[in-house]
Amino acid sequence: MPKKDEFTPGDSVLLTTKEKQYVGVLMPSPNAENVVLKLKTGYNMVLKKKSITAVKKEKATVIVQEKTKLPSVQHKKELKTIAILHTGGTIASEIDYATGGVVGRFTPEEIIAKYPQLTETANVRSRLLRNMSSEDMRFPHYNILAKEIQKEIKEGVDGIIITHGTDTIAYTSAALAFALEHLPIPVILVGSQRSSDRGSSDAALNLLSAFRFISQSDFGEVGLCMHETSSDESCVLLPATKTRKFHTSRRDAFKTVNARPFARITKEGKITWINQQYHKVDKARKLVVKPFKEDLKVGLLKTHTHMYAKQFEVYSTFQGLVLEGTGMGHLPINTLDKETKEHEKIFKVIQQLAKKIPVVITSQTLFGRINLNVYSPGRVLKEAGVLGDYLDILPETAFIKLAWLLSNYPKTQVAALMHENLRGEITKRSLHEDFL
Q: Which of 121, 158, 172, 245 is catalytic?
A: 245
Identify the CA nearest to 433 among candidates 247, 274, 254. Answer: 274
Does the annotation mark 4 as catalytic?
A: no
Residue 429 CB neighbours (<10 A): 8
Q: Please tell me what DSSP assigns to residue 136.
A: G
Instruction: Please name the amino acid found at residue 326.
Output: T
**How many residues are recorded in the chain?**
436
Angle at 427 between CA 174 and CA 433, to 5 degrees: 105
Q: Which of 87, 119, 166, 243 is catalytic?
A: 166
For 1-53, the DSSP string reads ---GGGS-TT-EEEEEESS-EEEEEEE--SSTTEEEEEETTS-EEEEEGGGEE
Instruction: Please name the amino acid found at residue 175.
Output: A
Residue 292 CB neighbours (<10 A): 23
- The partner residues of 181 in beta bridges, in order of sequence, read 288
Q: Which of 167, 303, 348, 365 is catalytic?
A: 167
Q: Which of 38, 81, 87, 90 is catalytic?
A: 90
253, 166 in Cβ contact below 8 A?
yes
- The partner residues of 142 in beta bridges, in order of sequence, read none
Does the annotation mark 245 as catalytic?
A: yes
Does the annotation mark 340 as catalytic?
A: no
192, 245 in Cβ contact below 8 A?
no
Does the annotation mark 166 as catalytic?
A: yes
Pairing of strands 12-17, 21-27: antiparallel
Pairing of strands 359-363, 320-325: parallel
What residues act catalytically? Answer: 90, 166-167, 245
